[in-house]
Amino acid sequence: MDEELRICSQWWQARECRIVEPTQHSFPLFIDWMQRHRLGRKRVLDTLLAANYHSAGIKQIATTDWRDFRVFGVFDIFHLT
């Protein structure tokens, strides 16, 4: 876990990364998507992340979990392997 936290810290401080935090718009969107898509507790974190991204104007996502973001229909998704 120490190595994983070190990597997270590096990304948090990286110049090329932008911090995206919840807003007054992203949380209601999160609730809407959870209800509209009938998502369960295992989808809470990905859905909150997607709502934060969408509210911040992010339109493209590169991820290995592309299926988790496809349901929202608002992102161009690049599949990583």
- What does the pLDDT look like over 27-47, one tens digit per residue? 999 999 999 999 999 999 999
Share of the chain above pLDDT 70, in %: 100
pTM of structure? 0.81
- In three-state secondary structure terms, 48 is helix
Q: Which residues contact 77 (CB under 8 A, 6 or more apart)?
A: 60, 61, 62, 63, 66, 69, 70
